Amino acid sequence: MRRKVIAGNWKMNMLPNEAIEYIESFSKLVENTKNEVILCVPYTDLFYALMNAQGTNIKIGAQNMHFEEKGAYTGEVSAKMLKSIGVEYVIIGHSERRQYFAETDETVNKKIKAAFANDLKPIVCVGETLEQREAGIAEKVITEQTRFALDGLEKEQVKKVIVAYEPIWAIGTGKTATSEDANNSIKSIRNEIKKIYGDDVADNVIIQYGGSVKSSNAKELFTTSDIDGGLVGGASLVPEEFAKIVNYDEQQ
């Protein structure tokens, strides 16, 4: 059985003192969960988050990285740099990066390869826009994004990838895909992975749902057949709320 992985994406929020306070209270609220818990924090919080998450079950991730290892790329941070301070996960290809920072399927693929070369686990985001959904091409878009993102990876690497299916129209809007729709989209991503990498890889790869997940809809989403947890933006900023999402399986 696949594990559930629940990751918070703080985006460009939280100063180091806020991150420290958050982890202090959040760690106590999630200490008994069997679900995997990840906080993806801004670069400036990484060191503090790593220090304060020591001895807890919280893993720390970054929200982006460059695909080159080093060099004249002012303002960028490489996978090697993240690994050197103990970061375990990195979000790659979030729709906000695709939309505002010209991230493409090609750069996403290069970043995933660089992440693996440095022993970082990528959380790879795919998702359709509202226009694409309304045009009936959502499945085509998300399966193509998945295929491009994973192109050239070894089967053992694909097994370690976390895919986050995030319909763009549901991110930060309060609109959530129905659990049935989200599950069906995730099934088509899993099916695409099955076609290319086989049953064993497809049965093991973790595929999350993201898009306005809250404590009130987490259980319904995460108890479907194919949704293996969530990538959570806004609701991960409040420790009590995010803890309820992580502990969704304790809800009545």
Q: Please classify residue 224 by burial: count the beta carbons closer than 10 Å to its beta carbon, then call 0-12 exposed, 13-18 middle and 19+ buried.
A: middle
Q: Is 8 in the site for ligand PEP (CB under 6 A)?
A: no
Count of positions on this chain that bind ligand PEP (CB under 6 A)? 14
- In the complex, minimum distance from the CB of residue 166 to ligand PEP, in angstroms, rounded to a whole number: 5
**Is residue 73 helix, strand or coil?**
coil
Closest alpha carbon to 243 in 92, 22, 67, 59: 22
Smallest gap from residue 55 Cβ to ligand PEP (A)? 27
The nearer residue to ligand PEP, 197 or 209, going by C-beta atoms, is 209
User: Does position 211 bind ligand PEP by CB under 6 A?
Assistant: yes
Residue 210 contacts ligand PEP per CB under 6 A: yes
Candidate ranges 27-35, 99-107, 218-226, 227-235; the one touching ligand PEP (CB under 6 A): 227-235
Question: By CB neighbour count within 10 A (0-12 exposed, 13-18 middle, 19+ buried), where does 178 fall?
Answer: exposed
Closest to 163 in 3D by CA, of 136, 132, 196 = 196
Q: Which of 94, 96, 139, 192 is catalytic?
A: 94
Identify whether 166 is a catalytic site residue: yes
Binding to ligand PEP by residue 167, rule CB under 6 A? no
| Torsion over CA: 182, 193, 117, 88 (sign) | positive
- Least CB distance from residue 95 to ligand PEP, whole Å? 8
Q: Is 126 in the site for ligand PEP (CB under 6 A)?
A: no
**Would you call 66 a catalytic residue per the annotation?**
no
Q: Which one of 49, 123, 126, 171 is in contact with ligand PEP (CB under 6 A)?
A: 171
Q: Which residues of 1-36 are buried (b: 16+ CB within 10 A; e: fewer)?
A: eeebbbbbbbbeebebeebeebbeebbeebeebebb
